[in-house]
Amino acid sequence: MSGLTNSRDTSLRERARVVVPGGMWGHMNAAALPEGYPQFFARGAGSRLWDVDGREFVDFMCSWGPIILGHRHPEVEEAARRQLDLGDCLNGPSEAMVELAELLVDIVPAADWAQFQKNGTDATTTAVTIARAGTRRRKILVARGAYHGAVPWCSPSLVGVTTEDRAHIILYDYNDVDSLERAVAEASGDLAGIVVSAFQHDYGKDQTLPTLAFAQAARALCDREDAALIVDDVRAGFRLNLGGSWETLGVKPDLSAWSKSIANGFALAAITGNDRFREATSSIFTTGSFWCSALSMAAGVATLNVLRRDDGVGHMTRLGQMLRDGLEALSVTHSLPIRQTGPVQMPMVLFDDDADHRKGFAFCAAALKQGVYFHPLHNMFLSVAHTTDDIARALDAADHGFKAARAMPAAHD
């Protein structure tokens, strides 16, 4: 078993430490997770995940977002397999690219066109370039603490990043209209675009949905300044509203960045945009050796078709609500207050008086032993593969989690 010195996970970590700097990089480094969490996984199926030591988990991270229909969804796998038999990496895109762009334009009301990349960072970074090309201006507004990718203009770490990389980035506070207006004023006529997350989903913090006033102010400021409103829907995309997370607010972005769940785990990102930025988008030079991978595009078409046919958003909302209600009831039973914030499809569970995260870590470590994979500090994800039985198992594991968390001392900020 993982955590013991003779486990396959431990031995892989030891081998990785020799040939991979730090053993593992970025957000998937299991060193940041509670005791007992595996680093290495063997396989996934539906709502389940198996680590290299054969432990089975009900998965509430969904590969940190990409898995929206469940691991290895049969219709997506079939579409990918059919394309694999024909070829994945060719001298240009396959028919699937046109089909996928048509599908996105059909599904996303704000979209007149689509363009494709591999990772969410490609999409957000290219959207910024399009905004600058279209406006011939430089300043980009970004919310303090928001994640938009792992390249110098937006990386959460400043290690290896220069002041010049951030020279034209101005920060504002999410949902704070005054601070947004101040940032626009600071850009003083050089505003290319405002980047907004679909909702506030910063690491380790309570989640907040955008207020209508904030969303409308962002739109109005972009209209007034002739700048681009860029919604980063990379994480929330297709889980809140199939047509885009800000559709519910009635606020249409000029550009939207998508990735994560768009192809149920196959590597794909997209920008959708309106006609105002069509010309700018075709004027910039953007590309990547693997951006036209036919397999991912075929998987994307299958994923979006299944989500639309089966009302994926409705399913994830119902089961997410069931999980939230169950956790709330357990929190009352155990007299241990928690905060559950943001949309139920993307649960964030934080304990009160837990500045050192010991309660959250103890909760997750105990649930993991019961075969349920939660995260103590990052938002989690529901998928269409989750069943009421999975939620029951999750709540049973959470009961053990609350008992373990109760044993931890209170830690105030």
Ligand X SMILES: *Cc1c(COP(=O)(O)O)cnc(C)c1O
Nearer CB in complex with ligand X: 180/263: 263
Q: What angle in degrees, to the nearest 10, is found between the helix axes of 358-369 and 388-406?
A: 130
Coil/strand/helix, residue 181: helix
Tell the smallest beta-carbon distance from residue 298 to ligand X (Å): 19
β-bridge mates for residue 59, sequence order: 373
Nearer CB in complex with ligand X: 71/393: 71
304 HSE (CA, 13 A, CB side): 27
Q: Which residue is nearest to ligand X (CB)?
A: 120
Tell the smallest beta-carbon distance from residue 7 to ligand X (Å): 28
192 HSE (CA, 13 A, CB side): 21
- Asked if residues 90 and 294 have their Cβ atoms less than 8 Å apart, the reply is yes
Nearer CB in complex with ligand X: 292/362: 292
Tell the smallest beta-carbon distance from residue 124 to ligand X (Å): 5
Question: What is the footprint of ligand X within residues 212-271 (CB under 6 A)?
Answer: 232, 234-235, 259
Contacts from 77-85 at CB under 8 Å and sequence distance 24+? Answer: 78/302, 79/298, 79/299, 79/301, 79/302, 80/266, 80/295, 80/298, 80/299, 80/302, 82/298, 83/294, 83/295, 83/297, 83/298, 83/299, 84/295
Query: Residues 63, 121, 261, 272: which binds ligand X (CB under 6 A)?
Result: 121
Query: Strand order in 228-232's β-sheet?
Result: 113-117, 269-273, 255-258, 228-232, 191-197, 139-143, 169-172
Tell the smallest beta-carbon distance from residue 230 to ligand X (Å): 11
Tell the smallest beta-carbon distance from residue 88 to ligand X (Å): 19
Q: Which residues have CB under 8 Å from 219's CB, separation 6+?
A: 229, 251, 252
> Judged by CB under 6 A, how many residues of this single chain contact ligand X?
12
Nearer CB in complex with ligand X: 147/402: 147
Tell the smallest beta-carbon distance from residue 64 to ligand X (Å): 7
Of 291, 285, 281, 287, nearest to 93 (Cα)? 291
Tell the smallest beta-carbon distance from residue 117 to ligand X (Å): 9
Compose the 122-161 pattern: x for residues touching ligand X by CB under 6 A, - for all others. Answer: --x----------------------xxx------------
Interface segment toward ligand X; rule CB under 6 A; list 49-57, 120-128, 294-302, 377-385: 120-128
Nearer CB in complex with ligand X: 34/149: 149
Compute how many other C-beta atoms are within 10 angstroms of the C-beta atom of residue 113: 16
Nearer CB in complex with ligand X: 124/303: 124
Question: What is the footprint of ligand X within residues 184-203 (CB under 6 A)?
Answer: 197
* Burial group, residue 104, by CB count within 10 angstroms (0-12, 13-18, 19+): buried
Nearer CB in complex with ligand X: 197/293: 197
Query: Residues 120, 244, 312, 401: which binds ligand X (CB under 6 A)?
Result: 120
Tell the smallest beta-carbon distance from residue 187 to ligand X (Å): 22
Compute how many other C-beta atoms are within 10 angstroms of the C-beta atom of residue 45: 14
Nearer CB in complex with ligand X: 55/148: 148
Which positions lie near ligand X, rule CB under 6 A? 119-121, 124, 147-149, 197, 232, 234-235, 259
